[in-house]
Amino acid sequence: MKKIGFIGCGNMAGAIIGGIISSGLLKKEEIMGAEIFEAARKNVAQKFEIEVTDDNKKLATESEIIVLSVKPQFYVEVIEEIRPIISKDTIVLTIAPGFSLDKLAGLFAKGQKIIRAMPNTPALIGEGMTAVCPNKNITADELEWIKKLLASCGRVEVVKEYMMDAVVSASGSAPAYVYIMIEAMADAAVMDGMPRAKAYQFAAQAVVGAAKMVLETGKHPAELKDAVCSPAGTTIEAVRVLEEKGFRSAIIEAMRACADKSHRMA
């Protein structure tokens, strides 16, 4: 019996598998992957040395925890395939927006143990941020075990389900906003004479450092911002232009649009 099985072995599944193996929480022999594409199966088998199959039913029969890591448009099809053969004690972990606990419970229709999770792509390098939200059938011990598994590739927080749309906008989709900002920062540095490669390095490290300052000092972002803004200095001049151009409002409106889209997918 496998401890955990992944239906769909794309980047996010790979990040979680890699984190679990690196952490030592499970042995390779306790992990299985199911993937319909042969090239992806071979890649996962070679990279992680785990058992892989093209048979979702085989994986569902042999796994205590099933991670649905296929694209959302395939969820209904996969659930219909495995629903008749999984135990009520099997934990199903989903990582797709648009599928509420109630919707998932209706698709399984048998009092299934279900946990919604929303990770983000920095999990690929062990710096993910994942929100989890269990249904009433999950015990406290089971939730703690799932949190440990997901914490192997970053930070994990339990949230109420009504927050999941905000999670999508605040962390799930947020790397894309940051990449745009880094690209723009680098473009400006190139305009001022810095070579492109160095511009990306300086901009990206500034973002890494600033984010760590927020997480590790516990100080309010505004306090940290004020500490950089010397009187009549260069930073406050840049902040003035950002405010004039609607930087803060653009981020807020983009995130609200993202959360709204996530809500409409449910």
pLDDT tens digits for range 102-146: 999 999 977 999 999 999 999 989 999 999 999 999 999 999 999
**pLDDT value of position 1:** 58
Superfamily of domain 2-164: NAD(P)-binding Rossmann-like Domain (3.40.50.720)
**pLDDT value of position 248:** 97
Q: Write the pLDDT tens digit of every residue in 147-165.
A: 999 999 999 999 999 999 9
**pLDDT value of position 98:** 85
Per-domain boundaries in the chain: 2-164, 172-265
The pLDDT of residue 225 is above 80: yes
Per the document, the length of the chain is 266
Residue 260, CA atoms < 13 Å, CB-side half-sphere: 6
* Torsion, CA 11, CA 32, CA 77, CA 38, rounded to 10: 70
Please report how the helices 196-217 and 174-191 are oriented relative to each other, as an axis angle in degrees rounded to 10: 130
CA dist 187 and 259 (Å) reads: 29
- Round to the nearest angstrom and report the end-to-end CA distance of the chain: 33
**pLDDT value of position 227:** 97
**pLDDT value of position 188:** 98
Q: How crowded is residue 243: how many other Cβ atoms within 10 Å of its Cβ?
A: 11
Average pLDDT value for residue range 188-216? 98
Q: Write the pLDDT tens digit of every residue in 39-78.
A: 999 999 999 999 999 999 999 999 999 999 999 999 999 9
What value does the mean pLDDT of the chain take? 95
Average pLDDT value for residue range 12-24? 93
- Please check whether the two domains, 2-164 and 172-265, share a CATH topology: no
Under DSSP, is residue 237 helix (H, G, I), strand (E, B) or coil?
helix
Between 203 and 11, the higher pLDDT residue: 203
**pLDDT value of position 189:** 98
**pLDDT value of position 95:** 93
- Work out the widest C-alpha separation in the chain, in whole angstroms: 69
Give the residue among 16, 9, 8, 5 at the shortest CA–CA distance from 152: 16
Q: DSSP label at 171?
A: I
Q: Which amino acid is at 217?
A: T
Q: How confident is the model at residue 255 (pLDDT cuts 50, 70, 90)?
A: very high
Average pLDDT value for residue range 22-28? 93
Q: Which amino acid is at 202?
A: F
State whether the Cα torsion 225-208-131-251 is positive or negative: positive
Computed on alpha carbons and rounded to an integer, the radius of gyration of the chain in Å comes to: 21
CATH class of 172-265: mainly alpha
The pLDDT of residue 212 is above 70: yes
Q: How confident is the model at residue 197 (pLDDT cuts 50, 70, 90)?
A: very high
The pLDDT of residue 194 is above 90: yes
Q: Is 135 left (phi over 0), alpha (psi -120 to 50) or beta?
A: beta
CA dist 184 and 165 (Å) reads: 27
Question: In sequence order, what are the residues at sequence separation of 6 or more whose Cβ sits closer than 8 angstroms to the Cβ of residue 98?
Answer: 72, 262, 265, 266
Question: In sequence order, what are the residues at sequence separation of 6 or more whose Cβ sits closer than 8 angstroms to the Cβ of residue 83?
Answer: 107, 108, 109, 110
Instruction: Give me the helices (H) in the chain, please.
Output: 11-23, 38-48, 56-62, 75-82, 101-108, 140-151, 164-167, 174-191, 196-217, 221-228, 234-244, 247-265
